[in-house]
C-alpha cells in the first residue's frame, strides 16, 4: 500500500538512519551536529549510510552552524561536499544560502543546484530566516528547487502552521512544502490543517554512553555543555507510532 504521506526522518548518525528505515520511514536527512541545526556529515557517514539503506538518502550541505550567509571559502566547501555526496550515492542534497539582506542568494543557489543535478534538491530552514517567505517561495520555484523545509518561520511547526498552510496553497504543484519538526503528537494536526504531502520528523531518545568510567566536570563543547555520556538517537518506536498515527 502506498503511504499517504512521505515521511523523512532527520538523523544524526548511521545507526539512527538504519533505525528510521526499520521504522518505515521513506527517507532520511543525514546530518552531523544536530544541536547546531545540522551540518554536513562526513564522507564516512554518507558512504556507510548508503551501504546500509535502501530508502532515500538526503545529505545536508551546511559547512557550519549559525547564519546562512557564507564566505567564498565556505561556498567552495559546499560545492566540494555536493560532489562527494553525489559520488557516494546520495539521492538528494539539502541546501540553503541567503544574502545579508535576508533574501535567497539566487546566483549561488543556482550554481549548487546545477552541480547537484540529477539529485533532488531541498531548500532547508534558511527559508525561515528570509524577509519575505512568499518572495522566497517564488524565487525557489524559479530556480527549480524540489521542496522547501520550513517550520513556518516560527519556533515550532504548530506556531508556524498558519503560514505553512498558506504556503502550501500558494505553491500548488509547483514545489513541495515540507513542514519540519513533526512528532507523533503534532503531525496529524499539521496534515489535516495544511494538507501536506511530505513531512520532516524527529523521534529522538537519549541513549547512555557505553563508557564504564565517566570523568565528571570535563566538557568537550562550549557553554551549552551537552552531556558527554549520553547522546540523542532516533527512537524506532516513536517513528513507528508516528507512521501509525497518520495511516
The range of the structural domain enclosing residue 55 comes to 6-245
Residue 1 lies in a domain: no
Per-residue pLDDT of the chain (247 residues; tens, 9 = 90+): 345 899 999 999 999 999 999 999 999 999 999 888 899 999 999 999 999 999 999 999 999 999 999 999 999 999 999 999 999 999 999 999 999 999 999 999 999 999 999 999 999 999 999 999 999 999 999 999 999 999 999 988 999 999 999 999 999 999 999 999 877 778 889 999 999 999 999 887 888 888 888 778 777 665 655 565 666 778 888 888 877 777 6
Based on C-alpha coordinates, what's the Rg of the chain?
A: 18
Residue 205 lies in a domain: yes
Number of domains in the chain: 1
Give φ, ψ of 139 to 5 degrees: -60, -40
Cell of 228: 558527554
Residue 241 lies in a domain: yes
Q: What CATH number does residue 124 fall under?
A: 3.20.20.380
Query: Residue 159, CB half-sphere, CA atoms under 13 Å: how many?
Result: 7
Residue 32 lies in a domain: yes
Residue 159 lies in a domain: yes
pTM of the predicted structure, to 2 decimals: 0.87
Amino acid at each position: 500500500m502506498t503511504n499517504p504521506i512521505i515521511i523523512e526522518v532527520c538523523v544524526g548518525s548511521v545507526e539512527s538512519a538504519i533505525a528510521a528505515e526499520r521504522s518505515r520511514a521513506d527517507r532520511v536527512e543525514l546530518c552531523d551536529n544536530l544541536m547546531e541545526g545540522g551540518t554536513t556529515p562526513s564522507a564516512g557517514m554518507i558512504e556507510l549510510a548508503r551501504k546500509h539503506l535502501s530508502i532515500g538518502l538526503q545529505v545536508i550541505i551546511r559547512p557550519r552552524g549559525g547564519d546562512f550567509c557564507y564566505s567564498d571559502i565556505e561556498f567552495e566547501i559546499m560545492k566540494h561536499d555536493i560532489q562527494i555526496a553525489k559520488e557516494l550515492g546520495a539521492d538528494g542534497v539539502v541546501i540553503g544560502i541567503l544574502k545579508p539582506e535576508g533574501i535567497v542568494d539566487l546566483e549561488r543557489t543556482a550554481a549548487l543546484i546545477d552541480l547537484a543535478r540529477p539529485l533532488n534538491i531541498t531548500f532547508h530552514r534558511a527559508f525561515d530566516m528570509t524577509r519575505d517567505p512568499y518572495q522566497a517561495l517564488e524565487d525557489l520555484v524559479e530556480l527549480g528547487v524540489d521542496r522547501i523545509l520550513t517550520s513556518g518561520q516560527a519556533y515550532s511547526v504548530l506556531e508556524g502552521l498558519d503560514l505553512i498552510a498558506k504556503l502550501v496553497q500558494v505553491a500548488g504543484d509547483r514545489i513541495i512544502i515540507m513542514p519540519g519538526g513533526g512528532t507523533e503528537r503534532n503531525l496529524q494536526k499539521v496534515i489535516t490543517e495544511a494538507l501536506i504531502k511530505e513531512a520532516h520528523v524527529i523521534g529522538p531518545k537519549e541513549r547512555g554512553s557505553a563508557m564504564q568510567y565517566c570523568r565528571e566536570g570535563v566538557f568537550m563543547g562550549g557553554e551549552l555543555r551537552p552531556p558527554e555520556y549520553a547522546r540523542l538517537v532516533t527512537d524506532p518506536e516513536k517513528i513507528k507510532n508516528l507512521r501509525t498515527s497518520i495511516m
